[in-house]
Amino acid sequence: MKLQLNGTPVHSDAPTLAALLTAQGYGDAKIATAVNGTFVPASLRADHALADGDSVEVLAPMQGG
């Protein structure tokens, strides 16, 4: 299926958000995720099914102030 990952088109057969993150090399990284503009907590990523055309955002925490 075709997805947008941080604004970049990607093709993936990952059925869930967790599978996509693993396939894209995020593994156990401490990140925040959203699908189609809706926050998806880490505890729900394995159950969050992806669909063709979904837009996925992955954000890493930043330090500073």
pLDDT at 63: 67
Question: Which CATH number covers residue 10?
Answer: 3.10.20.30
Q: Are 34 and 56 in contact (CB under 8 A)?
A: yes
Range of the domain at 33: 2-59
pTM for this one?
A: 0.91
Main-chain phi, psi angles of 22, to 5 degrees: -65, -45
In a domain, 65, yes or no: no
Please count the structural domains in the chain: 1
Main-chain phi, psi angles of 24, to 5 degrees: -90, 5
Token output for 2: 């075709």
Residues 19-42: tens digit of each pLDDT: 999 999 998 889 999 999 999 999
In a domain, 64, yes or no: no
In a domain, 27, yes or no: yes
Neighbour-count burial of 22, counting CB atoms closer than 10 A to its CB (0-12 exposed, 13-18 middle, 19+ buried) = middle
